[in-house]
Amino acid sequence: MASTEVVVIGGGVIGTAVAYHLSRRGRRVVLCERAGLGTGTSGACDGGVLPLTKQPGRHLQLALQSAELYAGLSDELGYDIEFDRHGCMVVAENEAHLDLLADLTERQRRAGLAVQLLDAAGARELQPHLARQVAGAAFSPGDGQVNPVRLCRGFAAAARRYGAELRLGQAVTGIEVAAGRVRGVYTSGGGIAADLVINCAGVWAPAVAAMAGLSVPIEPVRGQLLVTERVPPLVRGEVLSALYIAAKWRPELITGVARRLRLGLSVSQGRAGNLFIGGCREQVGFDTATTAAALGAIADRARTLLPVLAGLRVIRSFAGLRPTTPDGLPLVGFVPAVEGLCIAAGHGGDGNALAPVTGLLVADLIDGKATPALSAALSPARFAA
Amino acid sequence: MAAPDLVVCRCEEVTLAAIEAALAAGVRDAKELKLATRAGLGICQGRICRRLTETLLKAPPPSPGYLIAGYRLPVRPVLLAELADAAEEAADATDR
């Protein structure tokens, strides 16, 4: 039977980030991914790295730390992850939205985010295609976007250079536990003995945890996006409606179909020129279908905020499953019940934003160097009954 | 024998050589191929190249329940405004 020091389960942005940081510190790592790199949630999102959408506190602090790590990451990995720091704007469509943004940005500024509150004219100066009737906007110039699939590939390639082994197309089918300690995993390609196993399986993390007899409070939430034809630059960075913020934290402010779908508009343009327009938050299990109702509702919101979009052709749609937790923070840390078993999952829609800092944190936890307060805040033990 | 500069995906101008390089690098299914080369991600969404790329992929899906490639809305390019109008009409019909 093969043996290693650490087995990382999952080849998305979190698993590859963890494998990179551990192998960089000299740990012997085997990463098991049942399909290909970034083919789950990481390959079904728009790649936002957006501190502006985070609540002040632990969440924003982690996002800011991650944004700093992103700045030099392409150079560090020797691979272009297509990270562009071109800002994020949250647009208030009415005065109630503007009040919500004024309160949020004031608290974010105190927490260290360089965010400006703009009036309607100021917002349209930065985004000339915005509708005339917007009330104002918040703008954070340091927010950015990454190509999540390239991020996975970059982390994985660098991990491999540090000696990590990537087992793609190999599903973990069981976890061996003896006398309260993890001993290794079983995979479709044979067993691997290891004293450390890290569950980075995102929405599938509960299924992995169940192999060790544990339950994990992570639920899939479906986000649908539509993709337009390639066009010359129309938007700068990511543009969100304040509806997105409301859908995330204040669903009571929304009514009708927007409430049902927890609709929160986001618009961004990839390097190739295609626009990605989302999104919604639906609890429909593991169903990744897209629906005419949600896509139509998203399209309707999109043309209200950015009328120029009405005349673009939609060529594709897709849906991704966001691994959400009861308190909105990820689970990162050792599980209380089984020694040597660690989890790094449940990042919701913030996987890209938090991947670099998560990889670093897991490496610190294993080396016994993590800050106690942070470890406690993210520990899976906070949900242990 | 097909020339390596043969264009397989016309919309994104992906050549046979690029696809073969991706396959050699370990790409095993249509989703990974799209992510690695952009083949099938253009305006026609693989309506022209899909048969070809699937033939080149040959291999069966890597794990049960993991689709080679699904089909999703829209079946052909549609104006964003038309998509929005259709949803509005459907919502009105439900409310009536």
Other Cβ atoms less than 10 A from the Cβ of A125: the count is 11
The answer to whether A167 faces chain B, any CB pair under 8 Å, is no
DSSP reduced 3-state for B38: coil
C-alpha distances (whole Å) from A188 to each of A35, A108, B62, B63 are 12, 46, 11, 9
Residue B50 CA to residue B36 CA, distance in Å, equals: 15
Other Cβ atoms less than 10 A from the Cβ of A373: the count is 9
Burial class of residue A232 in the structure, from the number of CB atoms within 10 Å of its CB (0-12 exposed, 13-18 middle, 19+ buried): exposed
Residue B67 has pLDDT above 50, yes or no: no
Judge whether A247 and A105 are in contact, CB under 8 Å. Answer: no
pLDDT digits (tens, 9 = 90+) for B17-38: 999 999 998 888 888 899 889 9
pLDDT digits (tens, 9 = 90+) for A99-120: 999 999 999 999 999 999 999 9
- Which of chain A's residues have a Cβ under 8 Å away from the Cβ of B87? 292-293, 295-297, 299-300
Choose the closest CB to B80 out of A39, A289, A299. Answer: A299
> What mean pLDDT is predicted for residues A328-337?
96
Residue A306 has pLDDT above 70, yes or no: yes
> What mean pLDDT is predicted for residues A2-15?
98
Q: A19-38: buried (b, 16+ CB within 10 Å) or exposed (e) per residue? A: bbbbbbeebbbbbbbbbbbb
Residue A369 CA to residue A372 CA, distance in Å, equals: 9
| pLDDT band with cut points at 50, 70 and 90 for residue B61 | low
- What is the average pLDDT value for chain A, to the nearest integer? 95
CB contact under 8 A, B87 and A309: no
Residue B34 CA to residue B96 CA, distance in Å, equals: 43
- Which of chain A's residues have a Cβ under 8 Å away from the Cβ of B73? 290-292, 295, 317
Residue B22 CA to residue A40 CA, distance in Å, equals: 19
Choose the closest CB to B87 out of A43, A168, A299. Answer: A299
DSSP β-bridge partners for residue A221? A322
Looking at residue B68, what is its pLDDT? 47
| pLDDT band with cut points at 50, 70 and 90 for residue A255 | confident
